[in-house]
Copies of this chain bind each other. A is one copy, B any other.
Amino acid sequence: MYLFTNDYSEGCHPAILAALTQSNRSQQPGYGADTFTAQAIALLQAQLADPTADIHLVAGGTSANLLAMAAFLKPFESVLAAQTGHICVHEAGAIEATGHKIEVAATADGKLRPADLAPLLAKSPPFHTVRPRLVYVSNPTEIGTIYSRQELTDLSAYCQANGLLLYLDGARLPMALTAATNDLTLADIGRLTDAFYLGGTKCGALLGEALVITNPALQPDFKYHLKQRGALLSKGRVLGIQFLTLLQDDLLLTLARHANALAQRLAQAVQDLGYSFLTVSHTNQIFPVLPYRVIEQLAPDFGFYVWKPIDAEQAAIRLITSWATPPEAVDDFIAALRAHSPAR
């Protein structure tokens, strides 16, 4: 059985294991003061073309999100998000647990645009309602779509004009940046947002996300938040070594391209067989709409989530590929899908 359930089903890229092994006996200071972390941060600052970016390596995405929002917001300030946003659904109320309301906009494709935000800003009376302050977006979104350069530029401008911070959840940002239809660079992401995180866990690391704070007003004292919320690893080197490896020679992007390519190969086959999709995705998550009968026939051999019922006959499933997915697994799935699909 092969799992297309998630992009965190395996361990890590072998280069990371090699780097961990090679550095193992080096004595280093703890809590992120090691030389590997310093090098990884310098490399990422260079790729962002922003030598003053404040960068912190943390263990996971929910941790990155809650740390950022808890640190950036005053108690009465709220977060604006698409209702499909990870923080709205699958973080067990982590943001609210830090005291902040999330105000949601319904959007068809998981992306936020200025027109989605405007109604959320029309508040009255003051101090009876929370004050919107931070816009949370994911790129790619939780349903595989990505922001264009123009879209993110417009959103960024709108946020600036309205006193809003723009925060980007980049759990799968490498996949967005390497999608066929992408026209954003990592430096664009840094420039257009106040803070974002670059995902490692879903892109070949054992664990780790790089939280990047580009807005200088949000940078001071961030390490206090990390420590206070239990997010500062004693052996920070574990994160430093991994990001150093992933950021060298564009390994991170290479792995993302692999994941995207295999997902798109799956998508092409799905489409060739006459099926449709829940959303148009050019990244490593695709959402084919299949008859329940077909889904049942695939289930014994392949792992995946049934994402959303469409009608009595069919549902959208989610297929995820990763840096670790072997092309053969994709071929097997395509063959099985073809075998179980009625002739057309």
Contact = CB atoms under 8 A, between A and B. Distances in A.
A233 B96 contact: no
Q: Is the interface of A mostly helix, strand, loop or mixed?
A: loop
A124 to B, nearest CB: 10
A237 interface: yes
A65 B228 CA distance: 11
Interface string A159-172: 00000000000000
Task: Give the copy number.
Answer: 4
Interface residues of A, number: 78
Given A127-B223, A224-B92, A229-B97, A234 B76 contact: no
Contacts of A229: 66, 94, 97, 229-230
Contacts of A20: 11-12, 17, 20, 206
10 contacts: A11-B20, A59-B59, A67-B230, A76-B227, A90-B128, A91-B128, A92-B128, A96-B99, A206-B238, A229-B229
Interface of A: 2-3, 5-6, 8-12, 14, 17, 20-21, 23-31, 59-67, 70-71, 74-76, 78, 89-94, 96-102, 126-131, 201-202, 206-207, 221, 223-235, 237-238, 303, 324
